[in-house]
Amino acid sequence: MSSSKKQRSLNKIALPGTVWLASDIHLGPQAPNTQNAFHAFLEQAARQADALVLCGDIFDAWVGDDMAIDAPPPWLAASIEKLRQTASAIPLWLGRGNRDFLIGPRLAQHLGAHLLPDALCLQTDAGDILLSHGDEYCIDDAGYQRFRRIVRTPWVQRLYLSLSLARRTRIADCARRRSMASNQRKATEIMDVAQRSIEQAFRQTSLALMVHGHTHRPGKHLLQVDGRACTRYVLPDWDYDHGQPARGGWMAIDRNGITLHRA
């Protein structure tokens, strides 16, 4: 059996009822309007959903769970409290993206939330869904994929987290500036998912539904994989601070199907 057809073993999480998913909120001190919109969304989710899944890049940067627990700045303390309130009302699941991949079990425990594996089968009333942040599918961006492999290596993360919070923050700021400069030189298509990686994921899991974020290109995509009809949904990103119109949204999943809601 070729590597492209080898079946992939996935963690499975069953979430019946009404499930809301959101991604790429990019909370940070530079985005107060986005933060306010997200807090209102959390309150709405606690009232109307049976579970909430955040699929990564909740925060624009994350240098360790201690930044949110030991002495968080005011903007972060406010969001942590809102997330705690949400987790006390409905099950809250936290995914890790390319910006906040260092979110760990300490934060989840502090919030009363659960951590998502990087890719999983989400079992819902609308069917089984292959869920991830989505950056793993951007394989045409070879430089980013090398960086991704390095920073997700356990010993590299242990070494980084052993540094002081101030030093970690300086390193993260430097890495972010270099990433932004590099992205400006890249073709837009390179930073999107590669069709062959999407098709391979469908083949390896035998699932027909996929949901991810990361690309900031929300929508619904229909495709055929080896004669099988498959559907890929991309979650909206959030930005209420930089430019118009404001962007945001979420996905609602229930027994009636899947609906993308835009701001």
Annotated binding-site members for substrate: 98-99, 141, 179, 183, 186, 214
Phi then psi for residue 174, to 5 deg, are: -65, -45
Cβ neighbours of residue 17 under 8 Å, at least 6 residues apart? 50, 51, 125, 254
DSSP string, 85-139: HHHHHS-EEE---SSSTT--HHHHHHHT-EEPPSEEEEEETTEEEEEE-SGGG-T
CA 61 to centroid of chain Cα atoms: 12
**Which segments of the chain are extended strands (E)?**
11-14, 19-22, 51-54, 92-94, 114-115, 119-124, 127-132, 209-212, 219-225, 228-234, 249-254, 257-262
Task: Please report where in the chains the tokens 């997700």 appear, as a residue.
Answer: 152
Q: Which of 149, 151, 142, 93 is nearest to 117 (CA)?
A: 93
CA distances from 124 to 131, 181, 222, 228, 246 (A): 11, 40, 20, 21, 30
Binding-site positions for Mn(2+) read 24, 26, 57, 98, 133, 214, 216
Among residues 83, 103, 56, the alpha carbon closest in space to that of 216 is found at 56
- Binding residue ranges: 24, 26, 57, 98-99, 133, 141, 179, 183, 186, 214, 216
Q: Report cis status (omega within 30 of 0) of the bond before 91.
A: no
